[in-house]
Amino acid sequence: MEQTNNGGEAAKRPVFLTVLCILSFIAAGLGILGYITLIGAMGMVATVASGMEGMEGMEGLSSAISSGPSAGMTWAYIIVGFLTTIVALFGVIKMWKLNKSGFMLYVGATVVSIIMSVVYSGFGAAIFGIVISAAFIVMYGLNMKHLK
Give me the residues paired with residue 4 across strands: 10
Q: Which residue has the higher pLDDT, 118 or 3?
A: 118
pLDDT score recorded for residue 49? 65
Closest residue by Cα to residue 139 from 13, 20, 15, 22? 20
Top-confidence range, 35-39, 90-94, 116-120: 90-94
**Over the chain, what is the mean pLDDT?**
84
Quote the CA–CA distance of 72 and 46 in Å, as a whole number: 12
Closest residue by Cα to residue 114 from 84, 138, 93? 84
Taking only the tens place, the pLDDT of each residue in 18-73 is: 999 999 999 999 999 999 999 888 878 767 766 666 555 555 555 555 555 677 78
Q: Enumerate residues 6+ apart whose C-beta is below 8 A from 69.
A: 77, 120
Q: Taking residues 12-19, what's their average pLDDT?
A: 95
Rg of the chain in Å (alpha carbons): 20
Residues 145/108, Cβ–Cβ less than 8 Å: no
pLDDT score recorded for residue 8? 46
Would the pLDDT of 144 be above 80? Answer: yes
**Is residue 61 within a helix (H) or strand (E), and if so which, with residue range?**
helix 59-66
Q: Enumerate residues 6+ apart whose C-beta is below 8 A from 20.
A: 136, 139, 140, 143
Nearest 5°: CA angle at 98, between 93 and 103?
65
Would the pLDDT of 97 be above 60? Answer: yes
pLDDT score recorded for residue 137? 97
